[in-house]
Amino acid sequence: MPTRDEQLTERFGLPSFYPWQREAIDALLDDHRRVLVVAPTGGGKSLCYQFPATVLRGTSVVISPLIALMDDQVRSLNDRGIEATYLASTLDFDELRRREERLAAGHYCLVYIAPERLRKASLVSLLARLRPPFVAIDEAHCISQWGHDFRPDYLRIGEALEALGPTRVLACTATATPAVRHEILERLAMPVATTTVVLRGFARPNLHLEVEENDSMATRRGHAIRAVAQALGDPNSPGGAAIIYAGTRRNTETTAAALREKGWRCRPYHAGLDPALREEVSAAFADRSLDVVVATNAFGMGIDRPDIRCVVHIQAPGSIEQYYQEVGRAGRDGQPAHGLLISGSSDFGFRRRLLELSHTGEQGSVDPVHAKHQWNMFLDLMRYVEAGSCRHDFILRYFGDERETLGGCGHCDVCEELDGRDDGRRSDDLSEEDAIVVQKALAGVARLRGRAGLAALAASLHGADTERMRQLGLTRLSTHGLMSDRPQRWIMALLRRLMTAALVDLTAGDYPVPFLTAEGRATMMGELSPRIIVPPERVGRARPKRPARRKQAPSGLDKPRDGDLFEQLRAARRQAAEERGVPAYVVCHDRTLVEIATARPTSLAELELVHGMGPARIDAYGDLLLAVVRAVVEPAPP
């Protein structure tokens, strides 16, 4: 009996399994386990079902939504003499029937099924009669209503599994946060206790990650073009390819035109184009007659040019999953590649409008809980933009891939800034002043003991002294006013960075309050030096033109102003409540108003960070509350 490695070489022409493939395959074959594999696209997941299917007796089933990929895989399996086929609605009736007949006769060792086929009860019972030894679900995150790629047909899989009763089940996905992983296991009835989770390979050390904050679309476009030129060189003899992702169809066209003007072989791609035209662009990109594509997120599934040297986003995508998937198309050949994300505060409004459109779009109304979830995923992405700690570690942590975090990768923009300091300090040390500021903020978190949220903590560290702050007991904290030399918005930005660097975490529930992680505690005690960049000084300066005036004003001046603002917010709330005929607390709680008055948010995104301001309240009252804040913070010139 040949060993698995021998079988691998003989059937697939590969020298050996990756260690995580072996872990997954052994768990499936030897222990009849349920296995969930989470690994990036192109990582080698398909071997985890192709290999077991070829060594097991009987017909194994793979459920996959990517028909083009199925076709491709079936062809290369057939080339190796492995009996495989696929069933999808793209096939004509006769062909489908022919394949189903051979399937019923037990002819195949592997059959790929598109999820919409499961709507046919006759197919499900045909499969059930075959008693498949093994069922794999590819792109398993499509089952998650929280994911970015939900497909309702995936909800049929749970039932189908029950009917098929395989002894082995494998779910594969490239993108799954802990919450999505949990949902996959639940919907596929894979018990947490007896399911092997193999989580591997999110680190992409050849990918240089960079973020730039910029609000002008024209500048973003210019910088994107510059990044393409840096990565590919001369447009007449480019070294590789690039993709630029934009949020709107129009933006793809404008940007593509600008690139063509610079001599690049470039075309736009979006869902509004004629399918034939889209096909043409994909084919041209694949056969290298096109070097740059400017696309919406409609472009990507199944792109496998290994020599993509650069992926630029000129507008923020919808989530970290989406970003990681898109930027991950760069550098598949393992050679250096660049991922640049250009974003700015205007992206908040843009994304909100997109979400609102999808609420009222053709697909009917979207569940508000779902909408809130999508908004939260976007906020996670914006935390990535704002993060002052290693970009790679941020993403790895986000996916729960703690084992692979690099403790500072050395090749993202943040690490480069940290490492580039050549003033004699150890490379990963903050300046003494910055380190003390971080310790002060951490001490503030420690003293808070669950009394209030982030915004109130920032206000307290800044030294805000209002009736409400007193009621919350925040003015009595020993850390009250400890950072009075910093603007409150700057403190807030610092606290967010401490969160993204995993020094501070938030409790779960409706009223999340910050607490120190073990690492945060050690940092506060000076046992660890924090590897983060503190926010730039400009953050929170009311008006760049007259920063001195604000600084020189005695801090007591803030007090009546905060009080005023609170009263004005209350008045606005009263009016809104009367207009809608609801009690005032339905609009929002006093506590929320206090935090708004102290945090003084200037955008909906900042408002969202205040306790009790969920998307529904933001939608209903966000603009009203912001207008009140703006009127006080930036009084109209006389």
Q: Does 42 bind ligand ADP (CB under 6 A)?
A: yes
User: At its nearest, how many Å lie between ligand ADP and the CB of residue 52?
Assistant: 13
Return the bridge partners of 241, or none: 308
Give the residue with the Cβ less far from ligand ADP, 115 or 444. Answer: 115
* Residue 415 contact partner, candidates Zn ion, ligand ADP, none, CB within 5 to 8 A by sort of partner: Zn ion
Cα separation of 541 and 563, whole Å?
20
The binder of ligand ADP chosen from 9, 14, 206, 515 (CB under 6 A)? 14
The binder of Zn ion chosen from 171, 396, 409, 474 (CB under 5 A)? 409
Give the residue with the Cβ less far from Zn ion, 486 or 531. Answer: 531
The binder of ligand ADP chosen from 9, 11, 18, 410 (CB under 6 A)? 18
Q: Which amino acid is at 492?
A: M
Measured N-to-C along each axis, helices 217-232 and 249-261 cross at an angle, to the nearest 10 degrees, of 50
* Residue 17 contact partner, candidates Zn ion, ligand ADP, none, CB within 5 to 8 A by sort of partner: ligand ADP
Tell me the backbone φ, ψ of residue 511, rounded to 5 degrees: -120, 75
Q: Does 597 bind Zn ion (CB under 5 A)?
A: no
Contact assessment for residue 148 and residue 319, using Cβ atoms and an 8 Å cutoff: yes
* Residue 409 contact partner, candidates ligand ADP, Zn ion, none, CB within 5 to 8 A by sort of partner: Zn ion
Q: Report how far Cα 629 is from the mean position of its chain's Cα atoms.
A: 31
Return the bridge partners of 212, or none: 342
Measured N-to-C along each axis, helices 391-398 and 320-327 cross at an angle, to the nearest 10 degrees, of 120
Site string for Zn ion, 34-53 (x = CB under 5 A): --------------------
Q: Does 415 bind Zn ion (CB under 5 A)?
A: yes
Cα–Cα distances in Å, from 432 out to 485, 489, 530?
16, 22, 11
- Which two tokens mark 410? 């050395």
The binder of ligand ADP chosen from 4, 26, 47, 71 (CB under 6 A)? 47
Q: Does 329 bind ligand ADP (CB under 6 A)?
A: no
- Which two tokens mark 562? 């905060």
Q: Does 179 bind ligand ADP (CB under 6 A)?
A: no
- CB-side exposure of 342: number of CA atoms within 13 Å? 22
Site string for Zn ion, 376-395 (x = CB under 5 A): --------------x-x---
* Residue 44 contact partner, candidates Zn ion, ligand ADP, none, CB within 5 to 8 A by sort of partner: ligand ADP
Strands 504-506 and 241-245: unpaired
Span near Zn ion by CB under 5 A; candidates 49-57, 72-80, 187-195, 406-414: 406-414
Please count the residues of this chain forming the interface with ligand ADP, following the rule CB under 6 A.
12
Interacting residues of 387 by C-beta distance below 8 A, sequence separation 6+? 394, 414, 497, 500, 501
Tell me the backbone φ, ψ of residue 508, rounded to 5 degrees: -80, 170
* Residue 390 contact partner, candidates ligand ADP, Zn ion, none, CB within 5 to 8 A by sort of partner: Zn ion
The binder of ligand ADP chosen from 25, 35, 39, 572 (CB under 6 A)? 39
Cα-Cα-Cα-Cα dihedral sign, residues 356, 360, 362, 368: positive
User: Could you say which residues in the range 507-546 bind ligand ADP, by CB under 6 A?
Assistant: none
Give the residue with the Cβ less far from ligand ADP, 335 or 507. Answer: 335
Coil vs helix vs strand at 203:
coil
Interacting residues of 137 by C-beta distance below 8 A, sequence separation 6+? 62, 63, 143, 154, 157, 169, 170, 171, 172, 188
Give the residue with the Cβ less far from ligand ADP, 45 or 617. Answer: 45
Contact footprint for Zn ion (CB under 5 A): 390, 392, 409, 412, 415
Contact footprint for ligand ADP (CB under 6 A): 14, 17-18, 21, 39, 41-47
